């Protein structure tokens, strides 16, 4: 993936994760997306998986649809992006992931070159 456009900047969210602001804010960087998917697709202990993420993002009415897909988390992220175009920001997503119990900063720790 390419670098952010000049009118897009990066800041830290409330949970310490990088948050894009500006026109590209609704796009989840590929490596962050992959880390979230690999962390939440497998069934989690104490419910810390894609089902809880869907609840935190108010998408739990679609649980049976997500469950029918090879990667439920990818579908949740796709819908989140679509619903937040163009004004969403990653800090909202980072907060939801943190509430799921996946507060590991490594989920959102990628260099600018990786995005």
Domain segments of the chain as ranges: 30-104
Q: Which stretch of DSSP H or E encloses residue 97?
A: helix 90-100
Q: In terms of pTM, does the model score above 0.95?
A: no
pLDDT tens sequence across 19-60: 555 555 557 888 889 989 999 999 877 778 999 999 999 999
Q: In which band, very low, low, confident or very high, does the pLDDT at 9 lie, cut at 50, 70 and 90?
A: very low
End-to-end C-alpha distance for the chain, whole angstroms: 6
Bigger pLDDT: 111 vs 81: 81
* Cβ 17 vs Cβ 91: under 8 Å: yes
Q: Residue 62: its pLDDT value, please?
A: 95
Look at domain 30-104 and name its CATH class: mainly alpha
Bigger pLDDT: 5 vs 49: 49
pLDDT tens sequence across 69-87: 999 999 999 999 988 877 7
Closest to 92 in 3D by CA, of 107, 102, 80: 80
């Amino acid at each position: 993936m390419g670098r952010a456009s000049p009118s897009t900047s990066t800041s830290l969210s409330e949970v310490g994760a990088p948050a894009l602001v500006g026109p590209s804010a609704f796009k989840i960087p590929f490596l962050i997306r992959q880390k979230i998917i690999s962390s939440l697709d497998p069934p989690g202990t104490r419910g810390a998986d894609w089902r809880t993420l869907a609840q935190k993002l108010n998408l739990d009415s679609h649980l049976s649809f997500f469950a029918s897909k090879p990667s439920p988390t990818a579908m949740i992220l796709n819908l989140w992006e679509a619903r937040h175009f163009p004004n969403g920001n990653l800090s909202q997503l980072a907060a939801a992931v943190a509430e799921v119990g996946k507060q590991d900063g490594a989920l959102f720790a990628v260099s600018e070159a990786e995005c």
